[in-house]
């Protein structure tokens, strides 16, 4: 009896101590939870309500006189045949071309820079690391203004092309798509008179010819800027992962007679897979949310070829005073990013681990 009472008392004291620790833990995190709830979760819920209304920005969106439209702001982006749907689909097309080029380019460039500055025989590694990372910590607005001067009609890029006898385009006034220009150069299509089979049909208010335009010349300048400014950050991530690879593993592969390319493909890259997934995910999220470069350099022009969902949401809400549609565009963009990130995670899943889980275990005799 005495032993049972002692054990019961010990368990009671442990439960009391655990409950006190839980209370203390919640007290420590309560300020952060309150701040995040007040400045993050509450504004998201307020924006969600605004997306369900026809609020024009006057007064409070929670007053009784604000029209409640339900999902009309969302369905209008996909179903209603008007200018709003056309602008949204143009922004999706532009951003898709932007993402397809920027994410692979910045990932490959960042990995190449990390491999270069990771070499032990390289002199001045600290200088090169700082130089490659410097554009990432510079203000994006300042760099955007700098690119406006570099790619102007009398800028450095145009003058450099003139030295080689190449007449540079009007970078921020040329709305022609690269794919259209490529088809025209190959003699497969005429930009001024596109094939009727591509202009006759389409989807979501855009013809197939418009969907297949590719990034415009103006968008290419923003693509170059994005790749140059983001590669430094991702370079540091790859560099940290490279420094975590055991030296013994690389030396063992060298003793086995593996070439430099084989060591990169079969040793280095598999060890960098978690970091590669992180870089691709962050790049995917950032590129779909591109805003500041478009706002400073082009504001969606020329001919809406640099229009993005983020900038369209801003313009719809704060210039056209259609706050409901602007908020709806933001939430559609959020859902699109979540779906693409989930798809990317599924594609880059560890198939060996999945196969081990699905493989039936041997029965015990």
Q: What was the pLDDT predicted at 14?
A: 63
Q: Which two tokens stand for residue 222?
A: 């923003």
How far is the C-alpha of 177 from the C-alpha of 214, rounded, in Å?
5
How far is the C-alpha of 282 from the C-alpha of 63, rounded, in Å?
39
357 φψ region: left (φ > 0), alpha (ψ -120 to 50), beta (else): alpha
Tell me the backbone φ, ψ of residue 139, rounded to 5 degrees. Answer: -55, 130
Q: Which two tokens stand for residue 184?
A: 């025209």
Q: Which helix (H) or strand (E) holds 176?
A: none
Q: Rounded to two decimals, what is the model's pTM?
A: 0.86
Q: Which helix (H) or strand (E) holds 306?
A: none
Are 215 and 98 within 8 A, CB to CB? yes
Task: Provide the residue-wise pLDDT of the chain in tens; the chain has 365 residues.
Answer: 555 655 665 666 666 666 777 888 888 888 888 888 888 888 999 999 999 999 988 888 888 888 999 899 999 899 888 888 999 999 999 999 999 999 999 999 999 999 988 887 777 778 888 888 888 888 889 999 999 999 988 888 888 888 888 888 888 888 888 888 888 888 888 877 888 888 877 788 888 888 988 899 999 999 999 999 999 999 999 999 998 888 888 778 888 788 888 888 888 888 899 999 999 999 999 999 999 999 999 999 888 999 999 999 999 999 989 999 999 999 999 999 999 999 988 988 876 544 444 455 555 54
Q: Which helix (H) or strand (E) holds 304?
A: none
Q: What was the pLDDT predicted at 357?
A: 44
Q: What was the pLDDT predicted at 326?
A: 94
Q: What does the DSSP 8-state code read for residue 10?
A: H
Q: What was the pLDDT predicted at 359?
A: 52
User: 77-177+214-358 has which CATH code?
Assistant: 1.10.3720.10
Q: Map residue 1 onto helix, strand or coil.
A: coil
Q: Where are the beta strands (DSSP E) in 195-302?
A: 202-203, 206-207
């Amino acid at each position: 009896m005495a032993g049972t009472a002692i054990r019961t008392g010990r368990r009671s004291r442990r439960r009391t101590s655990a409950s006190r620790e839980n209370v203390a833990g919640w007290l420590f995190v309560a300020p952060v939870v309150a701040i995040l709830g007040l400045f993050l979760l509450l504004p998201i819920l307020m924006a969600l309500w605004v997306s369900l209304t026809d609020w024009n920005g006057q007064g409070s969106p929670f007053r009784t006189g604000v029209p409640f439209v339900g999902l009309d702001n969302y369905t209008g982006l996909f179903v209603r045949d008007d200018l709003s749907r056309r602008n949204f689909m143009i922004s999706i097309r532009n951003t898709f071309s932007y993402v397809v080029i920027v994410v692979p380019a910045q990932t490959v460039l960042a990995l190449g820079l990390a491999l270069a500055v990771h070499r032990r025989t390289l002199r001045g590694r600290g200088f090169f690391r700082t130089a490659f990372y410097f554009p990432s910590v510079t203000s994006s607005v300042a760099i955007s203004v700098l690119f406006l001067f570099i790619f102007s009609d009398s800028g450095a890029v145009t003058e450099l092309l003139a030295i080689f006898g190449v007449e540079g385009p009007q970078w921020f006034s040329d709305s022609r798509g690269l794919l259209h220009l490529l088809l025209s150069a190959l003699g497969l299509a005429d930009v001024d008179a596109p094939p009727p089979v591509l202009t006759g049909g389409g989807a979501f208010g855009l013809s197939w010819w418009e969907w297949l335009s590719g990034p415009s010349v103006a968008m290419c300048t923003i693509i170059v800027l994005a790749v140059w400014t983001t590669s430094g950050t991702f370079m540091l991530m790859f560099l940290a992962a490279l420094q975590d690879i055991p030296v013994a593993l690389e030396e063992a592969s060298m003793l086995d007679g593996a070439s430099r390319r084989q060591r990169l493909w079969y040793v280095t890259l598999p060890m960098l897979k978690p970091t590669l997934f992180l870089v691709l995910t962050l790049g995917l999220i950032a590129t779909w949310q591109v805003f500041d470069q478009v706002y400073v350099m082009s504001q969606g022009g020329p001919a809406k070829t640099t229009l993005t969902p983020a900038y369209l949401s801003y313009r719809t809400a704060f210039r056209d005073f259609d706050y409901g549609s602007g908020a709806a565009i933001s939430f559609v963009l959020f859902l699109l990013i979540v779906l693409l990130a989930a798809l990317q995670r599924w594609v880059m899943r560890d198939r060996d681990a999945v196969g081990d889980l699905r493989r039936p275990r041997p029965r015990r005799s």
